[in-house]
Amino acid sequence: MKLVSKLIIRILANCAAILAADYLVPGFVFNGNWQDLVIAGAILGIVNSFIRPVVKLITFPLILLTLGLFTIVINIVLFILAINFIPSLSVHGFSAIVWGIIVISLVNYILLSIFDTKE
């Protein structure tokens, strides 16, 4: 049960982060209903939970060589990958991608810190 509640909290945090990025970042546009928003939050959660660790493990030498700066490139590429699976989300321009990632990361960090489910 605890795993299910963590999953729901992460999906809802991603949903709130997408809405915040839509509101704050010009060029970051979400055109969908609440079901599309939940699906988008789930897709971002899947990419962050399953694909990101594998990519970081594979690119560990580059991350080490660049003193961690290559993780920014990984975040951008994985975000673009996630956008391709979310038809109701469109991002126009590289700066919208970068600022969208920043807003989504900050909102996720804040919300997951507030709703921390550790015992």
Q: How confident is the model at residue 2 (pLDDT cuts 50, 70, 90)?
A: confident
Determine the 3-state secondary structure of 33 from DSSP. Answer: coil
Assign residue 27 a region: left if phi > 0, alpha if psi is -120 to 50, beta otherwise? Answer: left
How far is the C-alpha of 70 from the C-alpha of 51, rounded, in Å? 16
| Mean per-residue pLDDT, 37-43 | 94
pLDDT at site 54:
95
- Among 15, 39, 4, 24, residue whose Cα is nearest residue 99: 24
Which residues lie across from 29 on neighbouring strands?
Answer: 90
pLDDT tens across 69-106, in order?
999 999 999 999 999 999 999 999 999 999 999 999 99
pLDDT at 117 over 60: no
User: What is the value of pTM for the model shown?
Assistant: 0.87
SS3 category, 96: helix
pLDDT in tens, 45-72: 899 889 999 999 999 999 999 999 999 9
Residue predicted with more confidence, 58 or 117: 58
Instruction: Give the pLDDT score at 3.
Output: 78
Flag whether pLDDT at 118 surpasses 80: no
Domain spans, the chain: 2-114
